[in-house]
Amino acid sequence: MKFIVSSSQLLRQLQVLGGVINSNNTLPILDNFLFEISENQLKVSASDLETTMTAVVAIESDSTGSIAISARLLLDTLKTFPDQPLTFKTEGDSIIEISSDQGKYDMAYFGGDEFPKSVSLESPSKTIVPSNVLATAISKTIFAAGNDDLRPVMSGVFFQFSTDNLTFVATDAHKLVKYTRTDVTADKTAEFIMPKKPLNLLKGVLGGQEDVVIEYNDANAKFTFENFVLICRLIDGKYPNYEAVIPKENPNKLTVDRASFQNSVRRVSIFSSKTTHQIRLKMAGTELNISAEDLDFSNKADERLSCDYQGDDMQIGFNSRFLSEMLSNLTSSEVLIEMSLPNRAGILTPIDGTDEGEKITMLVMPVMLNN
């Protein structure tokens, strides 16, 4: 078996696929990339049994066959080459020789038939989503997904497809993000929970103008775009009724400049308690007072911002990390924060800077203020 490939082109695809491979695999074969060659085309796959990702690279070859090559060794080698054609040639039973302008390198390979076969989806539903829409939906929601192994359904992003819109939701019970697109729809209603790892892989490669074909059934989802295919197992379980936790009546409305507010929250939070990260917002008329204190170390900070506030004077406490994360995931120049009571969730929405057909709702739970 012999083929010639551009070193930089191969490296670019392998670096994406490398994200699939776990550092401690139960099956040693999963430490390898699977190379499948046919008709001037190299198909490379990486898998951790839950997620399998495949990329296609153009090569010069009249061979066919499949082998598995050590991912770490190959990536470390390719990173050191300037862009040049490399020749891969199998020598004897289990050695593949790579020839470059600089020299020759031998590495062991395994038979491709040892590599686990990727899942084929039976009778899947199909939805087509523009790449940049999916990339935005993932990056706007994934940070809010939980990390609790005891509640696996909340450790992913909930995809809710209907004939009216596509909705993406993530929550860890302290914060929630709901991202809706009315300009993209599905043929029929469907919902499933995507794990974080494949979404992070997708986030890294999506963003162009091409379409992504999403196929899904009860157990798996498949994303096909450009020269990549990603298949992953879905999280099994029922997603919590997130609509029930979004307060509907919020008479107190605060409009504030996002960048100034974000900088204030960051600065003031340095002086907050290292266990609660609590900051206090005090609103009255056109003034927003942001304060924090750490009683253990006698640290204290207090800032004033001008704002537009409509409602009763109130004080509410938030975890500064959650607030900061949400503000940094928005791009608007101003944000609206709607509140009802100091013990009810606050709702953040961007006032401007959203695309046509795009709606973002962020919810953050308050923390009890110690007076």
Alpha-carbon distance 177 to 364, whole Å?
9
In angstroms, the Cα distances linking 327 to 155, 181, 203, 276, 333 are: 21, 20, 20, 19, 10
Residue 80: how many CA atoms within 13 Å on its side-chain side?
9
pTM value > 0.85: yes
φ, ψ of residue 30 in degrees (nearest 5): -75, -5
Q: Report the helix count and the strand count for the chain, using DSSP H and E.
A: 6, 26
Domains and CATH numbers, the chain: 2-114 (3.10.150.10), 125-221+228-243 (3.10.150.10), 247-367 (3.10.150.10)
pLDDT, residue 272, reads 94
In angstroms, the Cα distances linking 316 to 246, 269, 313, 321, 347 are: 17, 15, 10, 15, 13
pLDDT, residue 128, reads 95
Alpha-carbon distance 117 to 128, whole Å?
25
pLDDT tens digit at each of 371 positions of the chain = 999 999 999 999 999 999 999 999 889 999 999 999 998 899 999 999 999 999 999 999 988 999 999 999 999 999 999 999 999 999 877 899 999 998 999 999 999 999 999 899 998 999 999 999 999 999 999 999 999 888 999 999 999 999 999 999 999 999 999 999 999 999 999 999 999 999 999 998 997 778 999 999 999 999 999 899 999 999 999 999 999 999 999 999 999 999 999 999 999 999 999 999 999 999 998 999 999 999 889 999 999 999 999 999 999 999 999 999 999 999 999 999 999 999 999 999 999 877 788 999 999 999 988 76
Alpha-carbon distance 206 to 131, whole Å?
6
Q: For residue range 258-269, list pLDDT tens digits in order.
A: 999 999 999 999
* Residue at 367: amino acid letter: V
Cβ contacts of 154 within 8 Å, gap of 6 or more: 145, 146, 148, 171, 172, 173, 240
pLDDT, residue 371, reads 61
pLDDT, residue 93, reads 79
Structure tokens at 204: 């890294």
Alpha-carbon distance 277 to 294, whole Å?
9
Alpha-carbon distance 342 to 332, whole Å?
25
If you count them, how many residues does the chain have? 371
